[in-house]
Amino acid sequence: MRHRAGWGYSQLSQRYVDESDAAFVVPDVIASNERAYTVFLRAIEAAQAAYLELVEILQDRFRDVPDRTLRRKLARQAARSVLGGATETIIFVTANARALRHFIELRGDVHADTEIRKVALEILRIMQREAPSIFGDYRIERLPDGTEVARTDHRKV
């Protein structure tokens, strides 16, 4: 969401949506380690159980609110706070070519977070297929740790 110029976002609100069956995104470094994955799953299960319990408690707490929809929104909004940053959400994004190049250069770099780098590289692969004259100068290189980066000799064009 940091990239604003040339970008447009539509995001499913996690504030009011029922997160009873929320999906979670497991970072690769956690998924690849059995012990870490077990800890992650325990935390997710506890968070989901707490969310469900809080929604129930808070709907009762807001029982005097005459609008049923508002009552439900208020309860979900407050209960959402126990779900972590790994809770999946849906975002629809549009961007112009210059904004995409900037994003790929920043987030496809070795210094970027591994997960956003994967997103940047997937966008790059799509753009190289769809607009090779604009994105054909990039190359994807594998790092010693198995992750990939995007590189170009024509930065900030």
Tell me if 156 is assigned to some domain: no
Judge whether 76 counts as a catalytic residue: no
Q: Which of 71, 76, 107, 117 is catalytic?
A: 107
Of the residues 59, 82, 105, the one at which a domain ends:
82
Query: What would the pLDDT profile of 69-116 be if each residue is shown by its tens digit?
Result: 999 999 999 999 999 889 988 888 899 999 999 999 999 999 999 989
State yes or no: pLDDT of 1 exceeds 60.
no
Calpha distance 42→131 (Å, rounded): 44
Looking at the structure of the chain, the number of domains it has is 2
Burial of 4: CB neighbours in 10 Å, binned 0-12, 13-18, 19+:
exposed
Of the residues 47, 82, 117, the one at which a domain ends:
82
Of the residues 53, 82, 111, the one at which a domain ends:
82
Tell me if 1 is assigned to some domain: no
Tell me if 88 is assigned to some domain: no
Q: Where residue 103 sits, what CATH number does that domain have?
A: 3.30.70.3180
Task: State which residues form the domain around 35.
Answer: 11-82
Query: What would the pLDDT profile of 123-141 be if each residue is shown by its tens digit?
Result: 999 999 999 999 999 999 9
